Amino acid sequence: MKIGIVCYPTFGGSGVLATELGKYLAREGHRIHFITYSQPVRLDILEENIYYHEVNVQDYPLFEYQPYELALSSKMVNVALKYKLDLLHVHYAIPHAYAAYMAKQILKEQNVDTPIITTLHGTDITLVGRNPSYKPAVTFSINHSDKVTSVSESLKKDTLDFFGIKRPIEVIHNFVDLSLYNPEQDCKNTFAPNGEKIVTHISNFRKVKRIVDVVHIFKGITEKINAVLLMIGEGPEKEKARALALELGIADRIKFLGKTSEVVRVLCMSDLFLLPSEKESFGLAALEAMAAGVPVISTDTGGLPEVNIDGLSGYTCGVGDIEGMVQRSISILEDNLLQARFSKRARKQAEKFSLERIGPQYLQVYREAIAEKAKV
Ligand code: GMT
């Protein structure tokens, strides 16, 4: 198949998932055309069957806001025509599903009917999409997609609860490429010169991730455990977290590693992963940690309990239950045998979300979308 993938090219989970999906499909022999405003961070454009088309927005002084959706729709049309795409798969509803709807209408004028598959990822539904400024357009573009998928049961339920959706929504959970993670690998390192336990958090440091809670939980852990905290990512809450670490006297135990490309290596060194989010439709970062055999302490919000099983791959607590997360973290970290058991079970749980199991589900949706078009 010839497939156009539209996503955010940044470190956000939807972009990472879309990129990994495109790479998988390319390895399966499909031609994958990424249509984004910059090259996705995990994409190697030299790989076979991968093509990259940059959306250029012209700056014009009249506009306070440059019309990105117009440029994106036009790019989708041009790429679909030039490369005879079989379908367009857009990740994150805003504004991608809306731009795709426009592209589809333009293509129809040229007697080309290109199916649109929209994958809902999280804040496009639970935060941004619910905003009254966007809600009618988001509802409309979901309803006009040929196929709609959601990354968790919880997100599907939220979508049906918040929006007047008439289309069926198929849940296809996020996946992880297990071959990248080898839990047997010995990777203790320079971050723990004195045998400290390594606690890790990865996110885009937005408010919804509650990274201030990460610092508080870590402070509680250090009362009992000799540990360091590795913080991967960048975002608006970073300075607040840094200031809190100074105030709590634990700044020397926390390393902010920024947007490192060494996520797999860092996870492989880690003993525990913290994800105390306010909302989380799935928690791809938690799944990646589990793939590396790292137990997860997370909240029980959204789709997290579908991924992190309480008492098995880690623990889940209520949002803001810092004390609960501290106690559960300590219980794992103070007992090496128990930690090893959690580690094994975390990896086993991650195996349920392997690329080999989940990837073909997208291919099935594509085939159905194309077959339905052929019938019309
Ligand atoms: O919040 C992020 O990490 C970014 C955001 C995105 O869409 O880029 O992530 C959402 O999609 C991920 C991939 O499907 C999910 O794993 C995240 O749980 C989800 N984030 C939230 O719901 C807050």
User: Whole-model pTM above 0.85?
Assistant: yes
Q: In ligand 1, which atom is closest to the CA atom of 284?
A: 16
| pLDDT value of residue 187 | 67
The 10s digit of each residue's pLDDT in 65-92 is 889 999 999 999 999 999 999 999 999 9
Query: Alpha-carbon distance 320 to 59, whole Å?
Result: 43
Largest CA distance in the chain: 68
pLDDT at 308: 98
Residue 90 corresponds to which amino acid?
Answer: V
Q: Domains along the chain?
A: 2-175+355-375 (3.40.50.2000), 178-353 (3.40.50.2000)
Extended strands (E) in 254-370: 254-258, 272-275, 296-299, 314-317
Q: What is the pLDDT of residue 277?
A: 98
Q: Is 87 exposed, middle or buried (CB count within 10 Å of its CB: 0-12, 13-18, 19+)?
A: buried
Q: If you measure from the C-alpha of residue 109 to the centroid of ligand 1, how many angstroms do you get, rounded to a whole number? A: 35
Q: Cβ(334)–Cβ(326) under 8 Å?
A: no
The residue whose CA is least distant from atom 4 of ligand 1 is 12
Q: How far apart are CA 221 and CA 150, in angstroms?
A: 35
231 or 194, which is more confident? Answer: 231
Mean pLDDT score, 343-361: 97
Average the pLDDT over 249-271 and give the result: 93
d(CA 230, CA 255): 5
Of 1, 21, 2, 3, the C-alpha closest to 13 is 21
Which one is predicted more confidently, 12 or 67? 67
- Which 3 state secondary structure label does DSSP give 309? coil
Q: What percent of the chain has pLDDT over 70?
A: 98
Reported as a single tens digit per residue, the pLDDT across 276-300 is: 999 999 999 999 999 999 999 999 9
Residue keyed to tokens 């791959």:
313
List the one residue out of 187, 197, 170, 204 whose CA is nearest residue 285.
204
User: What mean pLDDT do residues 142-146 have?
Assistant: 96
Contact call for residues 117 and 85 (beta carbons, < 8 A): no
Give the integer Cα–Cα distance in Å for 218 and 262: 22
Residues 168 and 209: their CA atoms lie apart, in Å, by 30
pLDDT category of residue 188 using cuts at 50, 70 and 90: low
Does residue 153 surpass a pLDDT of 90?
Answer: yes
Q: Give the distance (Å) from ligand 1 centre to CA of residue 17.
A: 9
> Looking at the predicted structure, is the pLDDT value of residue 61 above 80?
yes
Whether the Cβ atoms of residue 44 and residue 27 lie closer than 8 Å to each other: no
Q: Which of 120, 282, 299 should be mutated for ligand 1, with most atoms under 8 A from CB?
A: 282
- 33 within ligand 1 shell (Cβ under 6 A): no
Tell me if 129 CB under 6 Å of ligand 1: no
CA of 124 to the centre of ligand 1 (A): 9
Q: Is the CB of 151 under 6 A from ligand 1?
A: yes
| Per-residue pLDDT at 15 | 93
> Residue 183's pLDDT is what?
63
What does the DSSP 8-state code read for residue 4?
A: E
Mean pLDDT of 200-219: 97
